[in-house]
Amino acid sequence: MSKKNSVVTKIVGGVYKGKVLELPSLEVTRSSKSILKESFFNVLQFDIMDTLFIEGFGGSGAIGLEALSRGAKHSYFCEIDRQSYKILQRNCYSLEPSKCTSLYGDTFEKLPALLEQLKNQKSPKNNNGDDDIIIYLDPPFDFRDGMKDVYENTFDMVKNIDNENVILITFEHMTGLEMPEKLGMFSKYKTKKFGKSSLTYYNV
């Protein structure tokens, strides 16, 4: 598929504002709306500076690359769909490949392993230990084959996170889905609706 015929989006803020990113087919992934994306980063404000940003179910990588544009130190992506992963890699290469790590495979396997690995990476800027981590999770809506229990599986994955430096976990999910008040050591503190999609925020 040529870039000319691809669906695209743009970085909406930060040092790479206006940079064009490719999007995968809507048959395999949903793109976060610009208004939802802008709201998320307005909530973060300067808290994103020098953090490690993890985008589970990465798709095109638009959220994690937006995070880089706005000051994140490094972005990590997990994506299981082969075509989406190729587009994710192209988007990373077109922006700042040295600050991107894309992991091909199941988020439910790759993300816990990544978090375990990050426990052992001490930050030169932080005398108290590891860099702060922000996680963004946008599970596929469960109408996709094999995705029937995707939300429950994602909740279970979050319940098992024990990295003390994870400062925020945000879910992009179907509006109307009842989100748990607590997931392991994380507590829900805000939900904002954007039509069919919503953002729910958890912190420690």
How do residues 104-125 score in pLDDT, each as one tens digit?
A: 999 999 999 999 999 866 554 5
Tokens 């199941």 locate to: 106
- For residue 115, what pLDDT is reported? 96
Q: What is the pLDDT of residue 142?
A: 54
Q: Which residue has the tokens 């972005």?
A: 75
Tell the residue number behind the tokens 């992991």, with chain if given.
103
Q: Structural domain tally of the chain?
A: 1
Tell which residue, 85, 96, 24, 94, has the closest CA to residue 53. 96
Position 140 confidence tier, pLDDT thresholds 50, 70, 90: confident
Amino acid at 185: M
Classify 120 in phi/psi space as left (phi over 0), alpha (psi -120 to 50) or beta. alpha
CATH number at residue 54: 3.40.50.150
Question: Containing domain of residue 197, as a range?
Answer: 3-203
Q: What is the pLDDT of residues 52-90, one digit of tens each?
A: 999 999 989 999 999 999 999 999 999 999 999 999 999
Among candidate residues 50, 41, 37, the one with its CA nearest the CA of residue 132 = 50
| Gap between the Cα atoms of 171 and 188, Å rounded | 10
